[in-house]
């Protein structure tokens, strides 16, 4: 979902700043397939998402990141929303971990409606502080391979 494809988590009890980053994560690829059971009218969406994460420091070895999947109708009203947790395990000398998660969402499609009238939305639930921090990093941080904020910058046209 545009604007919700990146997240940042800060160390507990700290203020939002680059020095207090626990990890950053970004949805980098999503593949989906939808099949409709014509007998039951249930649409089954199978989704595989790839997430890139970078930890904020070598002391962070294991943590979790949460993302959501929501189903919206043709008026973009949210019908269902579920949160999912992914465990991030960082090896000692590795700052970046890429993870893959798969989920299956079943949506009953009422008679007279089409499965194509529904949209599956994926993203991170952000606080105002997280949103502001990400925007500030996108606007001005200089990327480096070990800089957690580098994930937030879009590549410059080359």
- Tell me: pLDDT of 144 over 70: no
- Tell me: pLDDT of 156 over 80: no
The band of 150, judged by pLDDT with boundaries at 50, 70 and 90, is low
* Cα separation, 27 vs 121, whole angstroms: 12
Please give the average per-residue pLDDT across 31-51, as a whole number: 93
Q: Supply the Cα-derived Rg of the chain in whole angstroms.
A: 18
**Residue 112, pLDDT score:** 85
**Residue 158, pLDDT score:** 42
- Tell me: pLDDT of 152 over 50: yes
Average pLDDT, the chain: 86
**Residue located via tokens 């391979």:** 145
* Cα separation, 104 vs 152, whole angstroms: 28
Which tokens belong to 73? 């109708």
- Tell me: pLDDT of 82 over 90: yes
* Cα separation, 3 vs 123, whole angstroms: 8
CATH of domain 6-152: 2.60.40
**Residue 2, pLDDT score:** 60
pTM of the model: 0.82
Which tokens belong to 78? 């949210």
The band of 1, judged by pLDDT with boundaries at 50, 70 and 90, is low
**Residue located via tokens 């957690």:** 148
Domain ranges in the chain are: 6-152
């Amino acid at each position: 979902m545009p604007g919700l494809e990146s997240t940042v988590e800060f160390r507990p009890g700290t203020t939002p700043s680059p020095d207090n980053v626990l990890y950053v994560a970004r949805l980098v690829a999503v593949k989906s397939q939808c099949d409709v059971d014509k007998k039951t009218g249930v649409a089954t969406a199978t989704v595989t998402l790839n997430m890139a994460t970078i930890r904020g420091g070598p002391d962070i070895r294991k943590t979790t990141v949460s993302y959501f999947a929501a189903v919206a109708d043709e008026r973009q009203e949210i019908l269902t929303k579920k949160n999912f947790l992914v465990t991030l395990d960082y090896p000692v000398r590795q700052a970046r971990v890429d993870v893959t998660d798969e989920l299956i969402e079943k949506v009953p499609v009422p008679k007279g409606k089409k499965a194509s009238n529904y949209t599956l939305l994926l993203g991170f639930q952000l606080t105002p502080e997280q949103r502001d921090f990400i925007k500030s990093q996108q606007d001005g941080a200089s990327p480096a391979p070990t800089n957690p904020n580098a994930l937030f910058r879009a590549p410059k046209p080359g």
